[in-house]
Amino acid sequence: MTGFTIVEPTTLIRDWMRTLGLSVGQHIYAGGLPNPYSCVDDGPAVVLWAAGDGADDYTGQVDGHYQLDCLASTASVAAQLAGEVKTALTNVVPGTALSAHTALHGWFQIGGRADFDPDPLNQRYIVTAQATTITTP
């Protein structure tokens, strides 16, 4: 029997985003910030969350909904970071490889808004988007 390794799409997308040269550098996380983490001490960050199940149309194409929290110590820096993220998502080249067997087709329905963060030292701007990934042979 052949073994399979299941890799969460958020991990693949996080790893891809770390190659984009965003101002946060490697401070892009999937599923939450490391603990402890302070935007004041550690700098701005992006946190990627799966916000909805992906729908597979049996062709290997999966549409997933994601939330990207852009966190910084000031609201203006959080909004600037959100602008960087939106630009990066908008400029995706269809077929961008995320792994040996997964390609990113594109991002759609990109939106965003300022939001409350429970940590009083962090300011949050949320970017929401739908990603379409394709399984490749």
pLDDT for residue 49: 92
Cis before 34? omega within 30: no
45 in Cβ contact with 81 (< 8 Å): no
pLDDT for residue 54: 62
pLDDT for residue 4: 47
pLDDT of the chain, 137 residues: tens digit per residue? 454 455 567 888 999 999 999 999 999 999 999 988 899 999 999 999 988 766 555 566 677 889 999 999 999 999 999 999 999 999 998 889 888 888 888 888 889 899 988 888 889 999 999 888 887 77
Q: Token digits for 23?
A: 């101002």
3-state SS record for 46-88: EEEEEEEEEEECCCCEEEEEEEEEEEECCHHHHHHHHHHHHHH
Domains and CATH numbers, the chain: 9-135 (3.30.2000.30)
pLDDT for residue 75: 93
pLDDT for residue 130: 87
104 in Cβ contact with 92 (< 8 Å): yes
Residue 16: strand, helix, or coil = helix
Partners of residue 65 on adjacent β-strands: 52, 130
Helix (H) or strand (E) holding 102: strand 102-115
| Residue 63, Cβ density class (10 Å: 0-12 exposed, 13-18 middle, ≥19 buried) | middle
CA 105 – CA 39 distance, rounded (Å): 32
CA 37 – CA 33 distance, rounded (Å): 6
Q: Token digits for 135?
A: 């399984």
